[in-house]
Amino acid sequence: MRWIARLAALGCVVFVMLQFVRPALTNPPVAAEIQAPPEVKAVLKRSCYSCHSNETALPWFDQVVPAYWVATHDVKMARQHLNFSEIGKLPAAAQRAMLFEAVTQIQLGAMPLPRYLKAHPEAALTPADLAVLKSYLVPFGKTAVSDAVTIAAADTQYKDWNGEKTPMPAIHAAPNGIEFFRDYKDWKAISTTDRGDNRTMRVIAGNDIAIRAIESKQIHPWPDGAAFAKIAWTQMTDNKGVIRPGQFKQVEFMVKDKTKYASTAGWGWARWLGMDLKPYGKSAAFTGECVSCHQPVKDNDFVYTMPITRTGGTR
């Protein structure tokens, strides 16, 4: 039985020695903290700053190797993606856009990292915390009520859009050569979203190949030929306080072809603006912003929308 005691003693020695293997975790000065009201910062401080700032303070149990190694690695990675102690030097709109992206990550359940929450339950966001962030992102507080004329104009426009009374104008291809998808209004709706910070309402639709892939659960990855449309209207508030679609803003597409579009994450990206469907982007390089903003869902084949099937989630 003595060997057990010896082994335990050896284990203790190794454990103590490992404590000295410590990658440095420094807190550089807070150069330019995010500019946001105190209540917004308070939420971020409690839930995100331990990784996404230069004000990292590890609790004692994270000071102990191997937890310490995990924590330092997380902080380094997290700061690379988003550092609330440094983004204050960006234009206000860029800071808001990053915060919007952060809220998306929270709502997806991706942030704070789920494994971190197990040991740090105090970092979890309550619905009230989330509401604080979201209401800050709504630019003008309550929307102004639109007058009857504006509402009628939007309704007429919607009928035109929907009924195709006027023939569609000649539509130019996107700068990367992708042609407009003239049949997209016949695609099936998969989801709707509304975005408080820029006041748009959106419908996401999929073509037949996408819908069949959802039904047969073949979406990791999506098959070639699958396509999505995201159709956006500006938000309007009527005199009853109902928020409803106003002017048509844009429609954008993703079409899968892992070979043809290998250089843009396997998807062809394109966007057309306004009722006259003007192609978006000065050159084919516009796709860079699409891919980088869809990067957080790369494990989901770069698609944000999670279809809901009859048997529940597909993940």
Binding site for ligand HEC (CB under 6 A): 47-48, 50-52, 74, 77-78, 81-82, 101-102, 104-106, 111-113, 116, 123, 125, 193, 202, 204, 228, 230, 252-254, 269-271, 280, 286, 289-290, 293-296, 303-305
Report CA-CA distances (Å) from 31 to 27, 74, 289.
11, 21, 27
Nearest approach, Cβ of residue 146 and ligand HEC (Å): 22
Question: With respect to ligand HEC, which residue has the nearer C-beta, 156 or 309?
Answer: 309
Nearest approach, Cβ of residue 222 and ligand HEC (Å): 10
Report CA-CA distances (Å) from 204 to 55, 173, 207.
39, 21, 10
Question: With respect to ligand HEC, which residue has the nearer C-beta, 270 or 277?
Answer: 270
Nearest approach, Cβ of residue 158 and ligand HEC (Å): 19
Q: Which of 223, 245, 222 is nearest to 234 (CA)?
A: 245
| Phi, psi of 62, rounded to the nearest 5 degrees | -90, -10
Question: With respect to ligand HEC, which residue has the nearer C-beta, 199 or 294?
Answer: 294
Nearest approach, Cβ of residue 172 and ligand HEC (Å): 15
Question: With respect to ligand HEC, which residue has the nearer C-beta, 153 or 291?
Answer: 291
Nearest approach, Cβ of residue 177 and ligand HEC (Å): 14
Which residue shows structure tokens 């809901």? Answer: 308
Element (H, E) at 230: strand 227-237
Q: Which of 29, 30, 33 is nearest to 41 (CA)?
A: 33
Pairwise CA distance, residues 146 & 157, whole Å:
15
Question: With respect to ligand HEC, which residue has the nearer C-beta, 236 or 303?
Answer: 303
